[in-house]
Amino acid sequence: MLLKLDFADETPIYMQIRNQIVLGIANGELIPGEKLPPIRTLAAETGVNTMTVNKSYQLLKQEGYLITDRRLGAMINPARVPEQHPPLTEHPALKLLISELYVDGISKEELLAACSKLYDELNKGE
Amino acid sequence: MLLKLDFADETPIYMQIRNQIVLGIANGELIPGEKLPPIRTLAAETGVNTMTVNKSYQLLKQEGYLITDRRLGAMINPARVPEQHPPLTEHPALKLLISELYVDGISKEELLAACSKLYDELNKGE
Amino acid sequence: MLLKLDFADETPIYMQIRNQIVLGIANGELIPGEKLPPIRTLAAETGVNTMTVNKSYQLLKQEGYLITDRRLGAMINPARVPEQHPPLTEHPALKLLISELYVDGISKEELLAACSKLYDELNKGE
Amino acid sequence: MLLKLDFADETPIYMQIRNQIVLGIANGELIPGEKLPPIRTLAAETGVNTMTVNKSYQLLKQEGYLITDRRLGAMINPARVPEQHPPLTEHPALKLLISELYVDGISKEELLAACSKLYDELNKGE
DNA sequence: GTGGTCTAGACCACG
DNA sequence: GTGGTCTAGACCACC
């Protein structure tokens, strides 16, 4: 799996790494139990400070996406417990996003079609 | 319209103000052409510095949500030109959001139902 | 002559009025000796405060574009003495403008063609 | 690169800084990828508040002249996408400028010669 | 009265 | 050490 980082982007680098790994898990590119590269390796490959990669791994671990085994290093959590969600209609980010799209003239059909398509693209291997 | 700010939240205050106004526009609470409170008033009401509110207004203006009529002050842009969107299926934030929800076990039906409901709630006045 | 003002524009209204009158003089729409509408009339027509129009007229008078006769009101100065210019190559605004266009990839030919065309369009009646 | 600010000038300081950097890019004094001084340094050197310099950088970033690499700070955007221009003959500032010069008796030849010279002086290093 | 600009500090997130 | 955010107060241009 290849990480694409944009150092000029406003989202922090550690968050970009975290996001890409989450995306990788969702679309099946990273499978539960798969080993992730050691922090130093990933840092060297991406030209990022080890501390930054470390922060990403810590965050992913805290969110349950990752587990670290002392002997094997980091791997995708094979037994993740999904987070408890309040009703989706209260999800602040989703609400804001849909509001922005609505104001930009996106129709309901377009929105639902895109959501459906994006969802279907996930984990094609299933 | 009442703004609710959370000073403990990590999202910057100026961004919270911006977000709430965008939400207000989307759900019809703020109508195009409507006058917004002067920077100083809003600052006093929310207990925030004028510079912070100023920053929000600047951002909203830059995004086209707001205009400042030199005679009357700030108002919701009555003739906003919607932003050009690349296909929604390439929208990074939407993609990430759906991925996170998917990994958390949200079903496609739940997702679409929530999006549909959120969309329908917007601009009830229409 | 019709003034088009944009109250949301960042350039002050009095300056917009001044600019449009200068443009009118340059393109021959306003001819030397021509009477300008009284301040109050212009203010009413454009929906602007009389003080604002007054400021425009004062500025134009100070720049020599306008003279006011107590009996006849304001008119385009029929005997304007052109301002003394330092060498054009030192003109700060021109320098900045050309720099911006250059950085935006405008070729020298495009620039000169546009300048030539714009110049030729002025005072067609001559 | 040395910035010359005129505190008596009516153009805002942050805009003067912005203008000088744009000029520097155009004439080749600042090359794409070159690192700019940190906000604090530039503020100290010019005797201006950090917030003011910050505002300049924000503006330059928004205009695409500058990027801030999260690791290295601010630098001249090495991959700037030129802005889309409507036909130059519709450029309001250029139109106004030429009109003013025309009314001041500048001949077409003088104008074109100056534009040509100014353009040729840009980016001598090329 | 309106927004726009600026100052002199301070704190924080990021790398 | 870097930019990003915020405060408390001030002054100014514009209308």
What digits encode the pLDDT tens for the residues A30-80? 999 999 999 999 999 999 999 999 999 999 999 999 999 888 889 999 988
Position D88 pLDDT exceeds 60: yes
- Subunits in contact with chain B (3 or more CB pairs closer than 8 Å): A, C
pTM attached to this predicted model: 0.93
A78-97 pLDDT, tens digit each? 988 887 888 999 999 999 99
pLDDT attached to residue A13: 96
Position B126 pLDDT exceeds 60: no
CA dihedral C59, D22, B65, A9 (to 10 degrees): -170
Reduced to 3 DSSP states, what percent helix, strand and coil does chain C have, rounded to the nearest 5?
A: 50, 5, 40
Position D122 pLDDT exceeds 80: yes
pLDDT attached to residue C84: 81
Smallest Cα–C1' distance to nucleotide F15: which residue has it? B71
- Identify the CA nearest to D124 among candidates D7, D55, D27: D27
pLDDT attached to residue A125: 54
Long-range contacts of C98-102 (CB under 8 A, 24+ apart): C98/D26, C98/D115, C98/D118, C98/D119, C98/D122, C99/D22, C99/D23, C99/D25, C99/D26, C99/D27, C99/D122, C100/D22, C100/D26, C101/D85, C101/D88, C102/D26, C102/D119, C102/D122, C102/D123
Range D71-89 average pLDDT:
92
Percent of chain D with pLDDT over 90: 91
pLDDT attached to residue B55: 96
* Strands D73-76, A66-69: pairing kind: unpaired
Closest CA in chain C for residue B61 = C8
The 3-state secondary structure of chain B reads CCCCCCCCCCCCHHHHHHHHHHHHHHCCCCCCCCECCCHHHHHHHHCCCHHHHHHHHHHHHHCCCEEEECCCEEEECCCCCCCCCCCHHHCHHHHHHHHHHHHCCCCHHHHHHHHHHHHHHCCCCC
Q: Which residues of B35-50 are buried (b: 16+ CB within 10 A; e: fewer)?
A: ebbebeebbeebebee
Indicate if CB(A15) is under 7 A from strand E: yes
pLDDT attached to residue B125: 54
Range C41-45 average pLDDT:
94
Closest CA in chain B for residue A91 = B114
D4-34 pLDDT, tens digit each? 999 999 999 999 999 999 999 999 999 999 9
CB C32 within 8 A of CB C43: no
Token couple for B14 = 């100026």
CB D99 within 8 A of CB C122: yes
Range D31-47 average pLDDT:
95
Range D94-111 average pLDDT:
96
Percent of chain D with pLDDT over 70: 98
Q: How far apart are CA C9 and CA C25, in angstroms?
A: 22
Range B7-34 average pLDDT:
95
Token couple for B78 = 């009555």
Smallest Cα–C1' distance to nucleotide F3: which residue has it? D73
Q: Which of B61, B65, B70 to mutate to test the interface with C (most CBs of C within 10 A)?
A: B70
Q: How far apart are CA A47 and CA A64, in angstroms?
A: 26
Smallest Cα–C1' distance to nucleotide F12: which residue has it? D10
Strand partners, D73: D69
Q: B125 vs B30, which has greater pLDDT?
A: B30
pLDDT attached to residue B123: 78
Token couple for D94 = 């250029």
Mean pLDDT estimate for chain B: 94
Partners of residue D76 in chain A, C-beta under 8 Å: none
pLDDT attached to residue A126: 53
Distance from CA of A44 to the nearest CA of D (A): 14
- Backbone dihedral angles phi then psi of residue D35, each to the nearest 5 degrees: -80, 135
Q: How far apart are CA A46 and CA D74, in angstroms?
A: 20
Interface of D with A (CB under 8 A): 67-72
A2-20 pLDDT, tens digit each? 899 999 999 999 999 999 9
B37-94 pLDDT, tens digit each? 999 999 999 999 999 999 999 999 999 999 999 999 999 999 999 888 889 999 999 9
Cβ neighbours of residue A119 under 8 Å, at least 6 residues apart?
A: B98, B102, B108, B111
Token couple for D52 = 């003011």
Q: How far apart are CA C106 and CA C42, in angstroms?
A: 39
Residue given tokens 């609710």 in the structure block: B4
pLDDT attached to residue D44: 95
Q: How far apart are CA A6 and CA A11, in angstroms?
A: 9
Range B30-42 average pLDDT:
95
Facing B69 at nearest CB: one of C8, C12, C49: C8
